[in-house]
Amino acid sequence: MSKPPLLFIHGMWSTPHVWDWFTDRYRTAGYAVHAPALPYHDIDPAEPPPAILATIGVQDYVDAIAAVVRTLPESPVIVGHSMGGMLAQKVAEAAGARGLILLSPGPTAETQSISLAPLRTVFGIAVKRQWWKQPTKIDAERARWGIFNEVPFDVANAEIAKLVWDSGRVLFQMSMPWADKTRGARVDYGKLSMPALVVVGDRDRITPIAVARATARALTGHTDYREITGAGHWLFHDPVREKVAAEMDTFLNAIG
């Protein structure tokens, strides 16, 4: 069986650059690789936020990535990190997938877990008036605590400088699904029967392991679940990314 295309979805406040090491690795291994930017994320971090980020929602992100999936010659394995892990499930529900690889997955409405650590991470946003109607960007201090914990200081600083603006509405839909009348973060897990791999660091703060465990339980196909000891949310630095890639290799070899 031929190697499936790989479609990588980045997370909140992020851009496709986070996947560079992985995309280079898998292209070298003979995979067709795609790593699109989410809408309005392909901007200079120093630029002011596009006004549309005040209103754009989860479904807009899903529609944009599902459109990419439908251009591919065959169904891909969808790889998502953080919010991208939540979106990967929504895209697979809408457009299908050969498999799912969910790294530090963000919560869906069904896998939400109440915890103080995510709230502490986004507290600087959540105290702003009507934050859910504004573009958002996490501040450096809280990003370092909740996203880049366990990451070398110089690596964390370089990544924080690359963070871009994102949608307050999307953050609201993910973090408060019970208050979202559109049910944007809801997933029909009966449609997610494809093989899946869930990987999370056991020191993840912004998307704690309870979310990853709930995700693994909710998926209805064969699901492999792995926790990486001593890793936080950010899985893109050495030696963590080597451990993630080893799990991905095993999964991809198993499905063809």
pLDDT in tens, 215-237: 999 999 999 999 999 999 999 99
Compute the distance between CA of residue 238 and CA of residue 217 in angstroms, rounded to an integer. Answer: 29
pTM of the predicted protein model: 0.96
Compute the distance between CA of residue 171 and CA of residue 173 in angstroms, rounded to an integer. Answer: 6
pLDDT for the residue numbered 27: 97
pLDDT for the residue numbered 114: 77
- Listed by start position, the domains of the chain span 6-254
User: What does the buried/exposed string (b/e) look like for 189-202 if buried means 16 or more CB atoms within 10 Å of the residue's CB?
Assistant: beebebbbbbbbbe
Compute the distance between CA of residue 252 and CA of residue 25 in angstroms, rounded to an integer. Answer: 13
Q: Are 102 and 83 in contact (CB under 8 A)?
A: no
Q: Torsion over CA of 225, 166, 18 and 242, rounded to 10 degrees? A: -20
pLDDT for the residue numbered 129: 86
For residue 255 the two structure tokens come to 């499905």
Q: Which residue has the tokens 């754009």?
A: 56
pLDDT in tens, 98-129: 999 999 999 999 998 877 888 788 878 888 88
pLDDT in tens, 186-209: 999 999 999 999 999 999 999 999
pLDDT for the residue numbered 118: 84
Reply yes or no on whether the pLDDT at 42 is more than 70: yes
Q: Which residue has the tokens 């080597």?
A: 242
pLDDT for the residue numbered 7: 98
Q: Please work out, in degrees rounded to the nearest 5, the angle formed at the alpha carbon of residue 241 by the alpha carbons of 235 and 245.
A: 120
Reply yes or no on whether the pLDDT at 154 is more than 80: yes
pLDDT for the residue numbered 203: 97
How confident is the model over 76-96, as a mean pLDDT? 98
Q: How confident is the model at residue 41 (pLDDT cuts 50, 70, 90)?
A: very high
Average pLDDT value over all residues in the chain: 95
Q: How far is CA 214 from the centre of its chain?
A: 15
Q: Are 134 and 122 in contact (CB under 8 A)?
A: no
- CATH code of 6-254, in short, is 3.40.50.1820
